[in-house]
A = this chain, B = another copy of it.
Amino acid sequence: MAAPSVAVDNLNPKVVLNCEYAVRGEIVIHAQRLQQQLQTQPGSLPFDEILYCNIGNPQSLGQKPVTFFREVIALCDHPCLLEKEETKSLFSADAISRATTILASIPGRATGAYSHSQGIKGLRDAIAAGIASRDGYPANADDIFLTDGASPGVHMMMQLLIRNEKDGILCPIPQYPLYSASIALHGGALVPYYLNESTGWGLEISDLKKQLEDSRLKGIDVRALVVINPGNPTGQVLAEENQRDIVKFCKNEGLVLLADEVYQENIYVDNKKFNSFKKIARSMGYNEDDLPLILASLVMNPPKAGDASYASYKAEKDGILQSLARRAKALENAFNSLEGITCNKTEGAMYLFPQLSLPQKAIDAAKAANKAPDAFYALRLLEATGIVVVPGSGFGQVPGTWHIRCTILPQEEKIPAIISRFKAFHEGFMAAYRD
């Protein structure tokens, strides 16, 4: 009889040991246990619901999907509806016409079949047109690869770029752990560069250069630079001048620029605007031969002025973004009002990443519990209030600093209660561990 064929110690160590994903890690699993406890033993905890501020998942927290998109999806998934009279009163005219156009571009006129490996050509044409109109430079459907979410796109690029453990990828710290996990999974080296918290999470070319040179001295072949704009978990929006320096740096050093621009629509400040890295590179005269540029972005072809759904689409979208901006501001102000917390402004994306200055006694207590101080803090916060945040140690941070990532996504009417519960917890925590 053979030894057990599958056990933790004989699986691929790249998967089992090196790959962490804090956004779905220990704190979240604990929160799910507490949620079950609330269901089976109501009243047994000091709160009556779990408030998930750990993951950028608006619709699971009650944000309504945008009507126009859902109409089009429903019609494409069940095209028989297009032959029925009642459909005209249930669906907007432009959704019906859009679904008809999309179906005409799909072989077999139905969703659900395997498509071209890059994605359906007609959809890529529409996306190319959207990118061209956004940037003012031509885009080609043959250069676009549709993936189901950003993660498969990132995994594909890492799989393609990383040949062995000497291939390195420059990544921001703090970063979204998809990048560190994917680099570990594919057996490469994460080359960190630090975002500067004191300048609102600024990206400094001098630091990029230093990290690149240091890692080259160690024999690392640095292949690409990851930039997340708007930032996750840090919520900053890059200035155009900074983007030009980044493009120049990649061009000079022969790096692939992996630009994660999934939050391009989520901008909350008037003095910043989203510029795609493609637009920046083209405006500098660089084409694809000069700079390999991979964009992970969500680009759509929404209703335009004059379309039947335009007014309701705009109202829904503006309503969501304005509410997110108010929530971000309220949480930022609350964090900054507290002893031992400083929080940069959320310019974009869906996150706040406040820094915690914890008393030495709290740090010692965390050490005794075998936890990072911010993980210790987040666990206490969860147990006292039901609020779920992700410790900064899951994203990386300057050694000796501690953070939490908090999304701005709970429904707006819940924000005041979250703030008051958070404040009460934090004040109690600081009092309990005061040095």
A12 beta carbon closer than 8 Å to chain B: yes
Chain A 350-370 against B: per-residue CB contact (8 Å), 1 yes, 0 no?
Answer: 000000000000000000000
Q: Verify B11–A60 contact, CB threshold 8 A.
A: no
A309 beta carbon closer than 8 Å to chain B: no
Residues of B within 8 A of A62 (CB): 108
A71 beta carbon closer than 8 Å to chain B: yes
Known contacts A6-B256, A59-B113, A60-B107; A12/B163 CB under 8 A? yes
Known contacts A2-B254, A74-B81; A60/B163 CB under 8 A? no
State the CA gap A118–B246 with chains docked (Å): 38
Q: Verify B1–A114 contact, CB threshold 8 A.
A: no
State the CA gap A63–B114 with chains docked (Å): 13
Residues of B within 8 A of A12 (CB): 159-163
A234 to chain B: closest CB distance in Å? 20
Residues of B within 8 A of A86 (CB): 86, 89-90
A43 beta carbon closer than 8 Å to chain B: no
Chain A 63-95 against B: per-residue CB contact (8 Å), 1 yes, 0 no?
Answer: 111010011011101101100101101100000
Contact pick for A65, options B110, B117, B252, CB 8 Å: B110
Known contacts A113-B60, A114-B55, A160-B15; A256/B5 CB under 8 A? yes
Give chain A's interface residue range (CB within 8 Å of chain B): 35 or more
A276 to chain B: closest CB distance in Å? 20
State the CA gap A310–B12 with chains docked (Å): 46
Contact pick for A70, options B55, B78, B106, B223, CB 8 Å: B78
- Using CB atoms, name the residue of chain B closest to A164: B12
Chain A 2-16 against B: per-residue CB contact (8 Å), 1 yes, 0 no?
Answer: 111110001111111
State the CA gap A316–B280 with chains docked (Å): 53
A112 beta carbon closer than 8 Å to chain B: yes
Q: For residues 26 through 45 of chain A, which have their beta carbon under 8 Å from a beta carbon of chain B?
A: none
Residues of B within 8 A of A161 (CB): 6, 11-12
Known contacts A3-B254, A4-B254, A6-B256, then 6 further A-B pairs from the complex at CB < 8 Å, ordered by chain A residue: A2-B255, A60-B106, A67-B80, A81-B90, A86-B89, A90-B90
Cβ contacts A to B, 27 pairs, < 8 Å:
A2-B253, A2-B255, A5-B255, A6-B161, A6-B256, A10-B163, A11-B160, A12-B162, A15-B160, A24-B117, A57-B113, A59-B108, A60-B106, A60-B110, A60-B114, A62-B108, A64-B110, A65-B78, A67-B80, A70-B80, A71-B78, A73-B74, A73-B77, A73-B78, A74-B74, A87-B90, A148-B148
Taking Cβ atoms with an 8 Å cutoff, the residues of A that contact B are 1-6, 10-16, 24, 55, 57-65, 67, 70-71, 73-75, 77-78, 80-81, 84, 86-87, 89-90, 106-108, 110, 112-114, 117, 148, 159-163, 185, 223-224, 252-256, 292
